[in-house]
Chains A and B, each alone.
Chain A
Amino acid sequence: MPVQTAFSTKQLPEAVVELRQQSKTTKPRVTIYFASTKYDPAMLGKQMKDAFPDSILVGCSTAGEITSGKMLSGSVVAMFLGSEIIEDAAVAVIEDLNSEAAVKKAFAGFERHFGCPLADMDLHRHVGIILVDGLSGAEERLMEKIGDLTDLLFVGGAAGDDLKFQGTHVFADGKVFSRAAVLLLLKLRKGFEVLKTQSFCSTGKKLVATAVDTASRKVISLNGRPALEAYAEAVGLPPAQAPSVFMKHPLGLIVEGEPFVRSPRAVEGSSILFYCQIREGMELELLDAGDIVNDTRRAVEAKQAELGRLAGVIDFHCILRTLQLRDEKRCDSYGSIFTNIPAVGFSTYGEEYLGHINQTSTMLLLR
């Protein structure tokens, strides 16, 4: 059994019993699970540990779940990875998201486990998964520190809490953590790819962040003018109406033609608050929305054509995309993209790939 997926919408303990039945294996090497906050996290963590005592267990709370063929809510989904896929794996928990030393300590632990410096690990066979608290605002700092210390890719998402914005959780080895991050470093027998797809294209209109408050994710001025005024002019609307198109026209940091999306969230006076940090001096481009389902389907199919059969997909999928799909009643269409691929994922409060990004599906493709 290389990769198996399971899901349940039942309450505990039946939900974990159902996962166990669907797992079709007695001993997965690694189990990754994503769960609605309808489940008591401590109970869920303990029951998962009891059900899969020999497995490395990581997970987090969500704002919606994804599994092969389906987008769900109020459920728990799980992916079981066998030894045919996983050569080795190790987990670290970062309980102090503000601590640089905590990241270094986590990486030192990885090096001890794998018996090898991170710098010597094969970039094509080692990949990290990161699940991080979605309400702490610490994602950028954490991803930046990880990126400083290693060229290994860490991909993942910020945990959600069903749009309550009260508290998110990450799980490691059956234990629950708040305001923390879980890092899972995998050594894969057949390698992997990362697919970042965001269904936007640039309009070519440039907006330079000329004054910001990075820590609060606030842009004060764009192109030397009040941010809301400059954004409104770019989208061709009066400032009062501009927020109505935030989801359709986010901003993008463009790298080699690839947008890293920064989504506007709200207006504060003449400033704009975003769902991720924007640094002073960043040159951004106004983006225009495409079709989430068709664009994602094309991207996944292109990867399948390139790589051949995929053993599994983990989809870190922005809640903003999920909300749009729900509004358009196209969740089933999106879920159908993964009908024939063992897949799990969740609706995140932000996606992690080299940095913290928005309105994106960042997928780990297992070969």
Chain B
Amino acid sequence: MAGQIKHMLDAIIQQRAKGSPTVALTTKTKLVLKGINPDRFSDTADDDPAIMAKVRAIAADLGVIV
């Protein structure tokens, strides 16, 4: 099912931000600095298993569940 990476990244940002645009931006920046740019993943992007594993690990580091 394509687009899972985007949904995972959106969930990470939403859970950390809790509605704060400021935290949403800093969380996105942290993801980019970790090597995952949310802007590069769309609803139709392929679900690369290696990237999905990396996103899950990042989510764990950030204390969120995806």
Q: Which residues of A contact B (CB under 8 A)?
A: 123, 144, 147-149, 151, 153, 253, 255-256, 260, 279-283, 354-355
Contacts and interface: CB of A to CB of B under 8 A. Distances in A.
A153 B34 contact: no
Given A123-B20, A123-B23, A148-B63, A279 B30 contact: no
Contacts of A151: 16, 20, 23, 26-27
A298 to B, nearest CB: 22
Contacts of A149: 63
A355 B28 CA distance: 12
Contact of A255 (B16, B22, B32, B61): B32
A283 B22 CA distance: 23
Given A147-B26, A148-B30, A279-B34, 17 more contacts: A123-B20, A123-B22, A144-B30, A148-B62, A148-B63, A149-B63, A151-B23, A151-B26, A253-B33, A255-B32, A260-B29, A260-B33, A280-B35, A283-B37, A354-B29, A354-B30, A355-B30
A255 B28 contact: yes
A255 B35 contact: no
Contacts of B33: 144, 147, 253, 260, 354-355
A256 B37 CA distance: 11
Find the residue from A151, A281, A282 having the highest chain B CB count within 10 A.
A151
B25 interface: yes
B15 to A, nearest CB: 11
Nearest to A281: B35
Interface string B14-58: 001000101101111110111101001000000000000000000
Contacts of A144: 30, 33-34, 61
A260 B34 CA distance: 13
Nearest to A282: B35
Nearest to A277: B33
